[in-house]
Structure 1
Amino acid sequence: MTATNGKRLKAVSALFNFPKALRDDILDLPGFKQAFDLPAEAELTFGVGGLSFLRSSFFNALRALYADRSQVETVASEDGRSCELSLKADGDRTVVACRVGGEPCELPGFTMVSPQASDRLAEFDRIAERDFIHDVSSSEWRQRITDSPLSDEEVSQLMGELEQSPIRVREKIRAEVELGKSSIPTVVPQSRAYYQRLIGPSLGHSDLAKFVSGPCKAHIEELLRWEPAVGFAFALLVAAGHSTISELVDVSERPTADLVAAYDWLADRGDRFSQVAGVEIGIRLIAKHPEIEDSLIRMIEEMRDENLAATDSRFALSASLFVLVDGELSRRSLMIEEPPYWRRLAALAQAAMFERELVLSHVQAESFIQWATMGRGSDFFMQGLADLRVEPRWLPDFMSPERLKDEAISRMVAAGDRLKDDEGSEKFRTLLKGTDPEGLRARVTFPQSFLPGSLEGNTVPMLDLPAELVDKLRGQEDAAILSSQSLAGLVNSAFVFRITEEHSRLAAEALKKVRHQVAMGSGASESFAVLIGLATVAAVTRATELAKDVRILARVLRRRSGTHYDVDDLMRVGLIASAANPQLTEWCESVGEWFVEIAQEEMSAGDAGGLRHYLQKLCTVVPELWRYAAKADAALAAVAQAA
């Protein structure tokens, strides 16, 4: 059924209100053009001489060639040039030879238009093996090209699908970087299938451990079987996310010479994320392959000694690129059905791939750091705060150069605990296990080195909360005013120790008994730290009553003379506390109430505009929130527009 002229006109008008990238995605939706009676014709443009053809004319000419490979077909380009097309062999491939005005040029192969299923299958299998494309989507395409010839649109869709492989994307990123530019659509591919090919599908696992032991393990094993050197490099991108994933990478049976070459490359050109995983894996290899030790020591010392304030800080670059990728994935709502840990692993692996190409080209890190962070910082931040409803133990604030360095050192120290006394040189053992100032252990600090990593938002710490901290909180039962110091131990430990419902209940009862009167130290910073800490305790224990008490306490504290909180800070407290509600509807209600209350605070037009911007970003991440946030949005709009 086609659309009426009025319906068609409205569809075309609406399309031009969207950015080009989104407009193209909509036009590519199956059946969209037919539903609105839009022209299905498309153009193909090639870099060689700027040749452009109508897709139907070009593909029909190729179909005739594949039907009779000895003939020559003539097709007119869009600028009127006459082009002679023929097929020729290039090793095990068939390519399209083109002559324009007597001058030869070569075009990509288009074997997928062949009427012969054997041609299509041979080309598809060649590309799939070369580019490591073995997923559900590719299996479905293989069946389609087996069953029947493809239409023009199907050929274009298939070619686009085959472009979404880590190998192809790496080539595109490298080509752009070599030209001194980078575009977000290239750096952050807009295909969910691509990220499944990069890190392995989640298969619906909401738990990190189940993903690691299931689809992630299978993906790593397939990579290492596929192509040892390249497969190891791509496996490191996945292993970079968590130490349990690096445990899956077994290259112990590889020739020593190959491992030496791989670790030399990793030390010279590897991204920081992969280098951490490489050290973890290398510690397991050192007894059998001691020749890799020099590269391991070089990476460990560089990470240990890196100056995070330097303009070329690699940890700063890693953090910024992660923010860029994760923020763009959020902006495009590409992973809306995936658990947060899986999306973050995909973002981390993609950021690491990009970093490798920047290192290879020796570009100035400072400009990329600013570009990456400023471009998608607010998208990343609001996505991270929304993720707390599902994975409450990781804050977006943790994606910082300081935190990444702390995490790298703690991971390497934990891996070093497995090093035996007779493995590696004395220098190597001292770096990993020694207690002198040169060793990594001297750089371990509490609590920074024990905070959760980006994939551990739903992981419960193994350490119990020290009894003395609980006793200190219980000791306030008969106090008329609760001291912030009695809460300090609890609120500073929420991410490090196992906090239980009993602990959050004690805090809630203590607040109620003193009618939310808490004695604070000087300045608003201490009271804000208590608010954030209590909100975190409420989130990680799913303590909805404590979350309500946090809101009351925030109201009491900001009414005190001399106390002022930025509206952005109040928003952070509210979003963290609201994560005590794992169910979507209850979370939306809590977030909506917080924003309505904050919107009633006195604030400048600029602050109102900024808070409204964050609110709208949040509603883009969680569209269901609009129903509960519309009143706050209207109030903030009124203040912002009053200037």
Structure 2
Amino acid sequence: MTESKQKRLKAVAALLNFHEALREDIVDLPGFKQTLDIPSEAELTFGALGLAFLRSTFFNALRELYADRSQVRTVVAEDGRSCGLALRVDDDRTIVACKVGSETFELPGFTMVSPKASDRLAEFDRIAERDFVHDASANMWRQRLEGGPLSDAEVSQLMGELEQSPVRIREKIRADAKLGKASIPTIIPHSRVYFQRLVGSSLGKTELGDFVSGPCKAHIEALQRWDPAVGFALALLVAGGHSTISELVELGEKPKADVVTAYEWLADRGDRFSQIAAVEIGIRSIATHPGIEGSLIRMIEEIRDEDVTADDSRFALTASLFVLVDGELSRRNLMLDEPPYWRRLAALAQAAMFERELVLSHVQIESFSQWATMGRGGDFFVQALADLRVEPRWLPDFMSPERLKDEAISRIVTAGNRLEDNEGSEKLRALLKGDGEEGLRARVKFPMSYLPGPLEGKTVPAMELPAELVDDLRGEKDRETLNSQSLAGLVNSALVFRITEEHSRLAGEALKKVRHQVAMGNSDGESFALLIGLATVAAVTRAPELSEDVRILARVLRRRPGTHFDVDALIRVGLIASAANPELKAWCESVGAWFVEIAQEEMTAEDAFGIRQHLRKLCAVVPYLWPYVGKADAALAAVAQAA
């Protein structure tokens, strides 16, 4: 490898540590390209033809061609071959024909280079309508096209951005899936614009409800106006994320035969979350579209009966693909400034799109599940723990096949409660509202079926903490001894019931009363469960004092003879407890204190290396954290290098 190539690779690696908004500015700095020996002249490559051209040479030939369509223009490829370019019209479309020797090929449309505004706008409008590209970015480009001819760089930029549409990406994923391939850049586009087109822009809405009632509603309505069939399929990718979004999707006046066909397709080849949304929509539409009942029953029974431990579990595939997408978005630092619920919705929708194509191509699901989880699991986990500062109620452990099935059943049962006694068949009513073993109600489990979903990290439960648990908690603060079981009711209820500051205060007073000496068995699992539970209570009630009590308790428990917590467990407890501090500076101080304390413990070089890896991933997600963990990083580096 040449020295200049090594420098370029190092520069690329360094750029990946910067926010996406800064990368182009850095590349455009004076002397950047010259220092790294990066060619200033871009090339266009047509892989299928084996041809490459200097971009300026190729675009200038096309501009001359569009100015005088009667002529043939000759352009020389980088390998010296001569190519004749001509324009021809096919079905009202202008196509570039490229003749190389005795063969003639059709090239992708390059009408955007035309000197005529009418040519440019007609091509842009055609693509925008075909691919559903109707966002703020598209509007900006249309205005630019009206204003005058584009530069070479602008043409490339525009054509690249038009590629970032769900319709085009779906086509690319489908083509790869048919060949049994899976390219991460194809599955997970490195483009904020793409994900905004997929689920609708957040428009700065930090609350899920505000997003759903505003930009998401507008996005779903626009999809359904654009194309009744394709728009419905794309809308379901979004609606799968939450039941309030599926409320926005209407079957309305769609032809009954088309709706029946769509539901048959969903039952045969739909992704799991789209199926859940389709069941919710179908239940409230069964009176006007009775023909979908057979497909509804098929999907409900399949979800009910799925063995999530099986190698070919669809819920396992869904969980793995979500981890892959969300982890990759985190690794690339893409959309870190977006609310966590929005980024997770985008990840769910993209994972669902890929799942559809895998099912359609009949590949081995188990192999993709394993592949998807291996590469990005660490990035997903660290990102989810960092997100707790903003949305403290959803833990990364909840992205599991078991939890996803519980959530699916809970959503369908809730939707089934709306079914009138005179709607649907007896079998459908038995599935949704019956108390028998075949009904879904028998599958609802406490507390698992009531835990928050991926988009509900900021949603406060409607159910109050039972009075008897509150009374028990009040009694604990006056006792001289404290048993771990005394706090079990609180810690097991933190994500199901509405926990208040008073509850966290009572727990903290009880711990201080006994000087953080809690009686429990010798099980590390029991100690860890108590710490995780109390950390969660501190996070959801935003109680920094209880968070500090958790750190002290963790220190006390770690020093008990025979007790051992692995590195991941301690980091998980620390990051959950630190989420009691929603302000960035206070959160960083808390996380820094945890890591400094952990770094001072006796540990192996392997443990030190593992902690440092987690720490550096976390700082990539939240760079502001570095000043608070520098001491811990140095201590860990010393231990890791001493091996």
TM interval, shorter chain, is over 0.9
> Given that residues 27 and 33 in structure 1 are in contact (C-alpha distance below 8 angstroms), is that contact kept between their aligned partners in structure 2?
no
Deviations 1:100-125 (A, max 9, x none): 01211111110000000110000001
> Given that residues 608 and 640 in structure 2 are in contact (C-alpha distance below 8 angstroms), is that contact kept between their aligned partners in structure 1?
yes
> Given that residues 477 and 507 in structure 2 are in contact (C-alpha distance below 8 angstroms), is that contact kept between their aligned partners in structure 1?
no
1:279-428 correspondence runs (5 A): 279-428=279-428
Q: State the 1:395 CA deviation.
A: 0.3
> Given that residues 431 and 438 in structure 1 are in contact (C-alpha distance below 8 angstroms), is that contact kept between their aligned partners in structure 2?
yes
Deviations 1:29-84 (A, max 9, x none): 26844722644311111133211111111101100000000100001111111110
Deviations 1:426-472 (A, max 9, x none): 00000011111100001000000000000000000000000101111
Alignment match, 1:175:
175
Q: State the 1:604 CA deviation.
A: 1.7
Is structure 2 residue 558 aligned with structure 1 residue 558?
yes
Q: Residues 26 and 497 (structure 1 numbering): CA distance in 2 closer, same or farther, change over 3 Å?
A: closer
Q: Residues 210 and 527 (structure 1 numbering): CA distance in 2 closer, same or farther, change over 3 Å?
A: same
> Given that residues 484 and 530 in structure 1 are in contact (C-alpha distance below 8 angstroms), is that contact kept between their aligned partners in structure 2?
yes
What letter matches 1:391 in structure 2? E
What letter matches 1:178 in structure 2? K
Alignment match, 2:102:
102
- TM-score normalised per structure 2: 0.96
Q: Residues 14 and 464 (structure 1 numbering): CA distance in 2 closer, same or farther, change over 3 Å?
A: same
1:38-437 correspondence runs (5 A): 38=34, 39-437=39-437
What letter matches 2:172 in structure 1? K
> Given that residues 392 and 579 in structure 1 are in contact (C-alpha distance below 8 angstroms), is that contact kept between their aligned partners in structure 2?
yes
What is the alpha-carbon distance in structure 2 between the residues aligned to residue 11 and residue 470 of structure 1? 65
> Given that residues 325 and 351 in structure 1 are in contact (C-alpha distance below 8 angstroms), is that contact kept between their aligned partners in structure 2?
yes
Deviations 1:456-507 (A, max 9, x none): 0000000000010111112223322111111000000000000000000100
Q: SS state of the match for residue 24, structure 2?
A: coil
Q: State the 1:20 CA deviation.
A: 11
Deviations 1:352-390 (A, max 9, x none): 000000000001111111111111000000000000000
Tell me the matched-pair count.
635
Alignment match, 1:470:
470
Q: State the 1:224 CA deviation.
A: 0.2
Q: Residues 27 and 92 (structure 1 numbering): CA distance in 2 closer, same or farther, change over 3 Å?
A: farther
Alignment match, 1:443:
443
> Given that residues 522 and 562 in structure 2 are in contact (C-alpha distance below 8 angstroms), is that contact kept between their aligned partners in structure 1?
no
Deviations 1:284-330 (A, max 9, x none): 11111111001011011111101111110000000000000000001
What is the alpha-carbon distance in structure 2 between the residues aligned to residue 27 and residue 570 of structure 1? 34
Alignment match, 1:589:
589
- TM-score normalised per structure 1: 0.96
Q: SS state of the match for residue 436, structure 1?
A: coil
Is structure 2 residue 12 aligned with structure 1 residue 18?
yes
What is the alpha-carbon distance in structure 1 between the residues aligned to residue 379 and residue 22 of structure 2? 25
What letter matches 1:334 in structure 2? L
What is the alpha-carbon distance in structure 1 between the residues aligned to residue 251 and residue 174 of structure 2? 27
Deviations 1:187-238 (A, max 9, x none): 1000001010000000000000000000000000000000000000000000
In structure 1, runs of 5+ residues without a counterpart are 1-8
> Given that residues 272 and 352 in structure 1 are in contact (C-alpha distance below 8 angstroms), is that contact kept between their aligned partners in structure 2?
yes
> Given that residues 26 and 32 in structure 1 are in contact (C-alpha distance below 8 angstroms), is that contact kept between their aligned partners in structure 2?
no
What is the alpha-carbon distance in structure 1 between the residues aligned to residue 250 and residue 14 of structure 2? 44
Q: State the 1:12 CA deviation.
A: 9.3
Query: Is the deviation greater in 457-466 or in 477-486?
Result: 477-486
What is the alpha-carbon distance in structure 1 between the residues aligned to residue 22 and residue 544 of structure 2? 45
Alignment match, 2:567:
567
> Given that residues 15 and 23 in structure 2 are in contact (C-alpha distance below 8 angstroms), is that contact kept between their aligned partners in structure 1?
no
Q: CA RMSD in A?
A: 1.8
What letter matches 2:30 in structure 1? A
Q: Residues 581 and 23 (structure 1 numbering): CA distance in 2 closer, same or farther, change over 3 Å?
A: closer
Q: State the 1:628 CA deviation.
A: 0.6
Q: Residues 447 and 23 (structure 1 numbering): CA distance in 2 closer, same or farther, change over 3 Å?
A: closer
Q: State the 1:22 CA deviation.
A: 5.3
Q: Residues 65 and 28 (structure 1 numbering): CA distance in 2 closer, same or farther, change over 3 Å?
A: farther
Task: Pick one of 15, 29, 37 that aligns with 2:24.
Answer: 29
Q: State the 1:16 CA deviation.
A: 4.2
Q: Residues 23 and 49 (structure 1 numbering): CA distance in 2 closer, same or farther, change over 3 Å?
A: farther
What is the alpha-carbon distance in structure 1 between the residues aligned to residue 473 and residue 282 of structure 2? 45
Q: Residues 20 and 100 (structure 1 numbering): CA distance in 2 closer, same or farther, change over 3 Å?
A: farther
Q: SS state of the match for residue 482, structure 1?
A: coil
Is structure 2 residue 627 aligned with structure 1 residue 627?
yes
> Given that residues 413 and 440 in structure 1 are in contact (C-alpha distance below 8 angstroms), is that contact kept between their aligned partners in structure 2?
yes
Q: State the 1:93 CA deviation.
A: 1.0
1:487-526 correspondence runs (5 A): 487-526=487-526
What is the alpha-carbon distance in structure 2 between the residues aligned to residue 289 and residue 51 of structure 1? 53
Deviations 1:574-628 (A, max 9, x none): 0000000000001001001101111112222111111111110000000011111
Q: Residues 19 and 360 (structure 1 numbering): CA distance in 2 closer, same or farther, change over 3 Å?
A: farther
Q: State the 1:11 CA deviation.
A: 12
Alignment match, 1:6:
none
What is the alpha-carbon distance in structure 2 between the residues aligned to residue 19 and residue 182 of structure 1? 23
> Given that residues 267 and 299 in structure 1 are in contact (C-alpha distance below 8 angstroms), is that contact kept between their aligned partners in structure 2?
yes
> Given that residues 96 and 108 in structure 2 are in contact (C-alpha distance below 8 angstroms), is that contact kept between their aligned partners in structure 1?
yes
> Given that residues 482 and 519 in structure 1 are in contact (C-alpha distance below 8 angstroms), is that contact kept between their aligned partners in structure 2?
yes
What is the alpha-carbon distance in structure 2 between the residues aligned to residue 16 and residue 455 of structure 1? 37
Q: State the 1:14 CA deviation.
A: 5.4
> Given that residues 567 and 610 in structure 2 are in contact (C-alpha distance below 8 angstroms), is that contact kept between their aligned partners in structure 1?
no
What is the alpha-carbon distance in structure 2 between the residues aligned to residue 15 and residue 110 of structure 1? 32
> Given that residues 16 and 23 in structure 1 are in contact (C-alpha distance below 8 angstroms), is that contact kept between their aligned partners in structure 2?
no
Deviations 1:404-443 (A, max 9, x none): 0000000000000000001100000000111111000010
Alignment match, 1:530:
530
Q: SS state of the match for residue 98, structure 2?
A: strand
What is the alpha-carbon distance in structure 2 between the residues aligned to residue 28 and residue 454 of structure 1? 30
Q: SS state of the match for residue 493, structure 2?
A: coil
In structure 2, runs of 5+ residues without a counterpart are none
Query: Is the deviation greater in 365-374 or in 351-360?
Result: 365-374
What letter matches 1:533 in structure 2? G
Q: Residues 11 and 45 (structure 1 numbering): CA distance in 2 closer, same or farther, change over 3 Å?
A: closer
What letter matches 1:47 in structure 2? G
| Percent of aligned positions that are identical | 74
Alignment match, 1:3:
none
> Given that residues 522 and 563 in structure 2 are in contact (C-alpha distance below 8 angstroms), is that contact kept between their aligned partners in structure 1?
no
What is the alpha-carbon distance in structure 1 between the residues aligned to residue 23 and residue 570 of structure 2? 42
> Given that residues 133 and 165 in structure 1 are in contact (C-alpha distance below 8 angstroms), is that contact kept between their aligned partners in structure 2?
yes
> Given that residues 94 and 109 in structure 1 are in contact (C-alpha distance below 8 angstroms), is that contact kept between their aligned partners in structure 2?
yes
What is the alpha-carbon distance in structure 1 between the residues aligned to residue 456 and residue 68 of structure 2? 59
> Given that residues 477 and 506 in structure 2 are in contact (C-alpha distance below 8 angstroms), is that contact kept between their aligned partners in structure 1?
no
Query: Is the deviation greater in 560-569 or in 374-383?
Result: 560-569
What is the alpha-carbon distance in structure 1 between the residues aligned to residue 97 and residue 16 of structure 2? 34
